[in-house]
Homo-oligomer: A and B are copies of this chain.
């Protein structure tokens, strides 16, 4: 989509892994838990899920599910937290987070609660993107 840019605040907090069919796929830098953010490339005016058209909605659902299915076996998640909030960053984006009972903010939510932590090592970021490319069609170069 001409002129589409992922919001700079999201890029500050995250690694950019690549693209699914509709969405840019980000990984939060804090390695305290695996926290993906999907940013669907849609019109800037669509800031709520119900403002997407049906084809966009279906594509986004497939992409949310791909991350949720990936998080359990690949990254040890026991529970998935999914949310569309947008109170701070108006651009529509969806959090898909893997939770464990021993993670740094269990059972609380991550927003506002995740302590400063180590960053994901570069090799791990690459490994996650590689597995998402192999299993779920992530396109590495399409950012």
How many copies of this chain sit in the oligomeric assembly?
Answer: 2
In the complex, A79 has a CB within 8 A of chain B: yes
Q: How far is the CA of A106 from the CA of B88 in the complex (A)?
A: 9
Q: Does A86 contact B (CB under 8 A)?
A: yes
Q: Are A107 and B87 in contact (CB under 8 A)?
A: yes
State whether B80 touches A48 (Cβ < 8 A): yes
A102: interface (CB < 8 Å): no
- A136 and B93 CA atoms in complex are apart in Å by 26
Closest 4 CB pairs of A and B: A83-B83, A87-B107, A50-B65, A109-B111
* A-B CB contact pairs (8 Å), 22 listed: A47-B79, A48-B79, A48-B80, A49-B64, A49-B65, A50-B64, A50-B69, A57-B61, A79-B86, A80-B84, A81-B84, A81-B85, A81-B86, A81-B87, A82-B84, A83-B84, A83-B85, A87-B99, A87-B106, A109-B109, A109-B111, A112-B112
